[in-house]
Amino acid sequence: MDAAPSPEGELTVEIWRGGADGRFRTYRVPRRRNQTVLDAVTYVQRHIDPSLAYRFACRVGVCGSCAMTVNGAPRWTCRTRVERVARRGRVRVAPLRNLPIIRDLAVDMTPFFDKWARAKGHFVPSAAGTQGFAEVAPDSPERRAADAGVECIGCGICYAVCDVVAWNPDYVGPAALNRAWTLVNDVRDGDRAGHLAAAAAGAGCHACHSHQSCAEYCPTGLNPTASIAGLKRMAFVAALKGAP
Amino acid sequence: MTVTIGPRNHPAYWAFVLHRVSGLALALFLPVHLYVLALAIDDAARLDRFLAWTEGPLVKAAEAGLVVLLAAHMAGGLRLLALEFLPWHEGQKARIAIGAGFAVAVGLAFLLNAF
Ligand code: HEM
Ligand code: SF4
Ligand code: SF4
Ligand code: FES
């Protein structure tokens, strides 16, 4: 934040204040070279209103905690440069969609992670796994499928942009299903059929309409739509074979 | 939080909107279509008068619209079935474009035959 102000002068930042019934308030922030949206929000909190609530940790796109709605689209604010998103010197910052607002820009991620648990998004050790190192061939189809989805950092961007989550609050959403798909394909896991059954149950993988907004917006470049399609296919085959 | 068209402005989302709108339009059209066909049994003279009316250019244009919707819905439906039942293919956007092109081509072919 020590760089000299760029010639462009000031940025107008509209920030959501309050809970679900809150409103946008407008702040003026000096423009800097390479300024991110997170920098602008931080400036407001440090210099204008210390009561502003928001989250961040790493500032470099690793932790996933800084996700917010920037000009209507969910983004990692630490990796979103003001110059890329500002329209006529204005940026509008709101909390992530599809999650309860705690206050200002901070949302309650509990439903997101509860659904992660509902989709059985945790590794189940197998008895054999305790015997030594598991050997998984890097080019096996399972390993490739798991690798393709494993870099998720749980930021909630895909969950916020998914309209099916907005329309059906029961829908487990792209991140949890993407995680379930990596476990269904994890040959070390002790309950792969259980992961598949959990992902297909209720408003699970079959509720997805393949809009691909999740894949379009995941900042890590993952493709939850492809993972969910894999789950749909595998669950279909399992159902034909008489799985519960 | 309200989200505007912004994040929805990508080909797969437009394909979804078109698929839903065309599906609903076809569902509304189908009962009317069947009712008119049933006139062949109930009241052939009325059917003939109706068919004469459908020769008008405005009705033909509207029919072409329906044909495009049906072709678009079929192409979109086959695309979704391929997406969900076949291994993932990176060319999803190309497939959407092919489906749209197919629908327009079918509409033009209908118009060529109509006049
Ligand atoms: C021509 C062959 C057709 C194919 C291949 C087809 C395929 C499909 C598929 C795969 C879906 C699921 C879409 C999704 O998962 O979001 C669907 C939805 C739908 N179809 Fe069709 N369909 C066809 C004809 C029709 C016809 C003739 C009608 C009208 C009576 C119709 C009305 C609908 C409606 C209302 C939906 C729901 C739309 C939505 O959920 O967004 N379809 N179709
Ligand atoms: S592909 Fe499925 S999970 Fe992804 S945004 Fe669309 S409906 Fe949601
Ligand atoms: S899939 Fe991508 S957008 Fe969704 S939570 Fe994981 S990293 Fe974030
Ligand atoms: S602060 Fe960690 S990803 Fe943005």
When pLDDT is averaged across residues A212-222 and rounded to a whole number, the result is 97
pLDDT at residue A77, as a whole number = 98
For residue B7, give how far its alpha carbon lies from the nearest alpha carbon of chain A (Å): 5
CA A108 to CA A90: how far, in whole Å? 27
User: With 50 as the cut, is the pLDDT of residue A161 above it?
Assistant: yes
For residue A148, what are the domain limits?
110-240
Do you know the residue count of chain B? 115
Number of H helices, E strands in chain B: 4, 0
Handedness of CA A205, A211, A54, A5 (dihedral sign): positive
pLDDT at residue B2, as a whole number = 47
Q: How many domains does chain B have?
A: 1
Q: pLDDT of A70-125, one tens digit each?
A: 999 999 999 999 999 999 999 999 999 999 999 999 999 999 999 999 999 999 98
Interhelix angle A224-240/B57-85, nearest 10 degrees = 80
Q: Of the candidates A107, A135, A157, which is a domain's last residue?
A: A107
Backbone angles phi, psi at A49, to 5 degrees: -145, 100
Hey, are the CB atoms on A69 and B1 less than 8 Å from each other? yes
| In-domain check, residue B28 | yes
Give yes or no: residues A34 and A63 share one domain: yes
Coil vs helix vs strand at A27: strand
The residues that bridge with A14 in the sheet, in sequence order, are A26, A92
DSSP A192: H
pLDDT at residue A120, as a whole number = 95
Give chain A's mean pLDDT.
94
| In-domain check, residue B2 | no
For residue B33, what are the domain limits?
12-114
When pLDDT is averaged across residues B51-66 and rounded to a whole number, the result is 90
pLDDT at residue A128, as a whole number = 63
Ligand nearest to the CA of A218: 3
Q: Of the candidates A75, A107, A139, which is a domain's last residue?
A: A107
Percent of chain A with pLDDT over 70: 95
User: With 50 as the cut, is the pLDDT of residue B1 above it?
Assistant: no
Q: pLDDT of A68-85, one tens digit each?
A: 999 999 999 999 999 999
Which two structure tokens, joined as six digits, stand for B75? 């192409």
Q: Which has more pLDDT, A129 or A235?
A: A235
Do you know the residue count of chain A? 244
ipTM over 0.85: yes
Can you give the CATH number for the domain in which B74 is found? 1.20.1300.10
From chain A, which residues contact B within 8 Å (Cβ)?
Answer: 16, 69, 71-74, 94-97, 101, 161, 163, 209-213, 216-217, 223, 225-226, 229-230, 232-233, 236
CA A157 to CA A175: how far, in whole Å? 9
Give yes or no: residues A27 and A15 share one domain: yes
Give yes or no: residues A133 and A12 share one domain: no
Q: Of the candidates A107, A125, A155, which is a domain's last residue?
A: A107
